């Protein structure tokens, strides 16, 4: 018996010891809305130091040169920087990251792509020739026939020579090229995927787990008499969302979380927990681009891909939309068949980043019937709630979701007419 306990404790020590080398995984978000510029950046923090350093270096380089380029200059239309990510692990150890930059500093948007492939076990970055050996001439021919009209042949060779941007899955490789790198297609990133099986590295196959979550709405008793507010959180989910949900629960409160589609897959458990505790989810676009600037196709993609991934992973139908940067135009209203929700109390938490100041601003502006805007991606917002919630409770407030506030308003109107 003693022996088993000893072995077990050694095992526990080993496991916890190993975990210390790897920090917690999160999706980091930088959202800024200034006088002359708007920024929406998302990227994974894998917890692997060497990899995260390179990702952060790339992001801060782009952000710095954007900030420098814009300076204090004020123009009719705000300049926009958006960086989105894709992230997956192939064969349980190879981390694949794609960072796509969208820059709007003049009339024409600029797109740029960057990839990272990192072997967690060996703790190093991989190049294309580390994982696959195929005839470059064959690949070149395939690319020429795929992009017949727009291919730039004399640049193609160079692009396939060194530092080819790529990612891979169990059965395929994808190559990425910037605009004008190998084709004359001006704004688009060229993404070329081909089947591949003969990898030079060992790839352990993963078993896929089935989605078994079934969303069940919770019946709640709503009061028409108590002063009531709807609490809303934008830009999440994040590593702070679960704690916010638990804190709300402590005060018998609920909120609507306007989420980004690009975070859903990596925060499935957080979102299940959010729904299971009586909260509501709304759509806040896929990757926080300003919606009023997009053409119809791009606009629909931003909205529909978020609704779709939420339906697929959580079996939940999103009804509400909060437009990014609060920007609305006729195209958005006409083409998107969803309820648009704005706010009338702005806590400015994204700018203040100080829990006392956020709480003070919120409590000064909150009144019966108001909709409060906050962001669940800041620790200071979480800490501000620790001041706001007990105070509102003391004042007898009922804290509900947007849909519940609408329901209460309806009931109050009915009571008035009866
Ligand atoms: Zn936002």
Q: Which residue has the tokens 């992009």?
A: 147
Using the mean position of ligand 1's atoms as its centre, give its distance from the Cα of residue 369 in Å.
Answer: 22
Among 61, 115, 60, CA closest to 87: 115
Using the mean position of ligand 1's atoms as its centre, give its distance from the Cα of residue 2 in Å.
Answer: 56
pLDDT in tens, 102-144: 999 988 889 999 999 999 999 999 999 999 988 888 899 999 9
pLDDT at 319: 96
Q: Which residue has the tokens 């108590």?
A: 226
Among 119, 137, 114, 2, CA closest to 58: 114
Using the mean position of ligand 1's atoms as its centre, give its distance from the Cα of residue 358 in Å.
Answer: 17
Structure tokens at 376: 């669940």
pTM for the model stands at 0.90
Identify the structural domains of the chain with CATH numbers, from first to last. Answer: 21-195 (3.30.565.40), 228-417 (3.20.20.370)
Euclidean distance between CA atoms 141 and 102, whole angstroms: 30
CA atoms 376, 377, 381, 383: torsion sign: positive
Using the mean position of ligand 1's atoms as its centre, give its distance from the Cα of residue 245 in Å.
Answer: 19
Euclidean distance between CA atoms 8 and 306, whole angstroms: 44
Q: Active-site residue numbers? A: 234, 375
pLDDT in tens, 327-355: 999 999 999 999 999 999 999 999 999 99
Radius of gyration of the chain (CA): 24
Using the mean position of ligand 1's atoms as its centre, give its distance from the Cα of residue 79 in Å.
Answer: 16
Q: Which residue has the tokens 């490789």?
A: 173
Q: CB neighbours of 191 closer than 8 A, spacing ≥ 6? A: 174, 175, 176
């Amino acid at each position: 018996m003693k022996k088993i306990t000893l072995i077990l404790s050694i095992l526990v020590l080993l496991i916890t010891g190993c975990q210390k080398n790897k920090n917690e995984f999160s999706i980091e978000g930088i959202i800024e809305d200034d006088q002359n510029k708007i920024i929406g950046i998302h990227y994974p923090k894998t917890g692997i130091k060497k990899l995260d350093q390179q990702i952060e270096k790339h992001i801060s380089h782009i952000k710095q040169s954007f900030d420098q380029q814009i300076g204090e200059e004020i123009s009719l239309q705000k300049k926009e920087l958006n960086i989105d990510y894709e992230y997956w692990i192939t064969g349980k150890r190879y981390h694949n990251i794609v960072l796509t930059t969208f820059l709007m500093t003049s009339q024409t948007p600029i797109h740029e792509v960057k990839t990272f492939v990192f072997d967690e076990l060996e703790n190093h970055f991989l190049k294309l020739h580390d994982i696959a050996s195929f005839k470059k001439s064959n690949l070149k021919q395939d690319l020429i026939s795929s992009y017949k009209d727009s291919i730039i042949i004399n640049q193609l060779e160079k692009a396939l020579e060194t530092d080819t941007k790529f990612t891979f899955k169990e059965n395929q490789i994808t190559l990425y090229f910037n605009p004008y790198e190998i084709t004359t297609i001006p704004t688009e990133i060229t993404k070329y995927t081909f089947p591949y099986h003969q990898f030079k590295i060992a790839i352990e196959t993963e078993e896929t787990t089935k989605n078994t979550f079934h969303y069940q709405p919770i019946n709640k008793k709503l009061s028409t008499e108590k002063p009531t507010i709807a609490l809303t959180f934008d830009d999440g989910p994040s590593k702070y969302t679960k704690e916010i949900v638990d804190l709300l629960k402590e005060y018998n409160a609920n909120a609507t979380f306007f989420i980004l589609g690009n975070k859903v897959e990596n925060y499935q458990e957080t979102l299940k927990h959010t729904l299971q505790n009586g909260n509501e989810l709304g759509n806040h676009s896929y990757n926080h681009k300003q919606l009023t600037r997009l053409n119809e196709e791009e606009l629909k993609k931003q909205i529909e891909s978020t609704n779709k991934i939420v339906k697929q992973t959580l079996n939940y139908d999103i009804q509400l939309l909060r437009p990014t940067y609060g920007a609305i135009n006729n195209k958005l209203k006409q083409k998107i068949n969803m309820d648009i929700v704005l706010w009338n109390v702005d806590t400015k938490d994204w700018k203040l980043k100080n829990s006392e100041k956020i709480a003070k601003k919120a409590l000064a502006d909150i009144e019966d019937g108001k909709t409060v805007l906050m962001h669940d991606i800041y620790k200071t917002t979480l800490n501000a709630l620790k001041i706001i919630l007990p105070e509102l409770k003391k004042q007898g407030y009922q804290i509900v979701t947007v849909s519940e506030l609408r329901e209460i308003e309806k009931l109050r109107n009915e009571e008035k007419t009866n």
